[in-house]
Structure 1
Amino acid sequence: MQTVLYARVSTADQTIAHQRKQAEASGFKIDAVVADDGVSGVSTVLADRAQGRRLFDMLRAGDVLVVRWVDRLGRNYADVTETIREFMRRGVIIRTVINGLTFDGATTDPMQQAVRDALIAFMAATAQAQAEATKEAQRAGIDHAKGRDDAYLGRKPSYTRAQLDDVITGLDRGDAVAAIAKATGLSRQTVYRVRDDRSEAEAALARWAA
């Protein structure tokens, strides 16, 4: 049996190494890393990604697939739910770094199956909803930035694109501000500012071309 980390990064300031570090810090002993770099989870399903396809070939019954969160598998509801179910049918166990969730097909109890399947559906739907909300906030932020005087950049953001995405993901999950600040390395004040005005947070990145 092996434990495989699947990492996906879609922007320049996200890193595969960071996702592995998070997994290992959470207690996972990673045997192999499979990663797609610069790939969108919205427009490209797992099976169509160069490295994502490898997972279907290499994972066997009893293996553990680790992902930072289900959005690394994808941000499309239908794709994510079917991907997780396909791995479970093959006897693969899926575990997430964030929230410490485990999905497997071992249980035969119908109530436990119902709870598991409902959680999978909820997580997949949340991943897609977050992607759509982030995209809308980005559009609003860019429009807001364009409406400002080009000579005025304002204060340079204290966060990167990856950190902002992590903050938004945490807020959408209902995580506490203190927990988000600790996980991202940002101050609570920064997290509060993002929470209170996501469009301006996006606009600041757009103005500074971050």
Structure 2
Amino acid sequence: MQTVLYARVSTLDQTIEHQQTQAEAAGFKLDRVLADHGVSGVKTKLEERPEGRRLYDILRAGDILVVRWIDRLGRNYDDVKQAIEQFMRRGVIVRTIINNMTFDGSTKDPMQMAVRDALIGFMAAAAQSHAEVTKAAQIAGIAHAKSLVGEKRYKGRKPSFNAEQLTGVLNLLEQKAGVSAIAKATGLSRQTIYRIIDDPAAAQMSLVEWEVVRSKAA
């Protein structure tokens, strides 16, 4: 039996090392780490990514697949749901670092199966929903930032968080984590987290605006 961490990073603000450190800190003893760099979870299915495809080749019954959260497998409802179900049919156990969730296909109890399948569907839907909200905020933020640059009215400061930290906060909020736990996990102040909670769309837009303004000034 082997324990394999699968990590995916889609931006320069994310790192494979961070996801591996999180897994080890959560108590996982990793035998292998597979990672895809610069790959979108929205546009590219798990089986279409170089290292994601390898998972289907190396994982066998009894193996454990570890991911930081379900959105590392993908951000499309059908893709994520089908990937987890396929691994379970093979006898692979899927576990998450955040909240230590376990998806095991070995149970035959109909009630346990119903709860498990409903939870998989909910988490897959949450991954896609979060991606869609983030994309909408980015589009609005870019348009707003360009108008501010053109009129030379942008007075904002560099955000106190990066894209990975913002994603981490939003993911943990979805899991009902407390502010103190989120602060510890992301390295952000409680005040910053409260600002994100008050207006997550504005937090995303501030990151986009800063990048647009900075690129215009370069």
TM-score range, shorter chain: over 0.9
8 Å contact 1:144–1:199 — kept in the other structure?
no
The aligned counterpart of 1:17 is 17
In 1, the alpha carbon distance for the partners of 2:118 and 2:12 equals 34
More displaced stretch, 43-52 vs 162-171: 162-171
Question: Matched residue of 2:17: which SS?
Answer: helix
8 Å contact 1:144–1:200 — kept in the other structure?
no
8 Å contact 2:144–2:209 — kept in the other structure?
no
- Residues 23-69 of structure 1: per-residue CA shift (max 9 Å, x gap): 00000001100100000001101001111000000001110000000
Aligned with 1:170 (options 172, 190, 200): 172
Give, in angstroms, the shift of residue 208 of structure 1: 2.5
More displaced stretch, 121-130 vs 139-148: 139-148
Give, in angstroms, the shift of residue 146 of structure 1: 2.5
Question: Matched residue of 2:50: which SS?
Answer: coil
Question: Matched residue of 1:95: which SS?
Answer: strand
Identity fraction in percent: 65
In 2, the alpha carbon distance for the partners of 1:107 and 1:194 equals 39
In 2, the alpha carbon distance for the partners of 1:79 and 1:59 equals 18
Query: Structure 2 regions of 5+ residues with no counterpart?
Result: none
Give, in angstroms, the shift of residue 109 of structure 1: 0.8
Kindly provide the amino acid, as one letter, of the partner of residue 177 in structure 2: D
Give, in angstroms, the shift of residue 141 of structure 1: 2.2
Equivalenced residue count is 210
Query: Structure 1 regions of 5+ residues with no counterpart?
Result: none
Between Structure 1 and Structure 2, the one with more helix by share is 2
The aligned counterpart of 1:107 is 107
More displaced stretch, 79-88 vs 141-150: 141-150
Over the residues paired in the alignment, what is the CA RMSD in angstroms? 1.5
In 2, the alpha carbon distance for the partners of 1:179 and 1:201 equals 19
More displaced stretch, 194-203 vs 82-91: 194-203
In 1, the alpha carbon distance for the partners of 2:171 and 2:32 equals 26
TM-score, length-scaled by structure 2:
0.91
TM-score, length-scaled by structure 1:
0.95
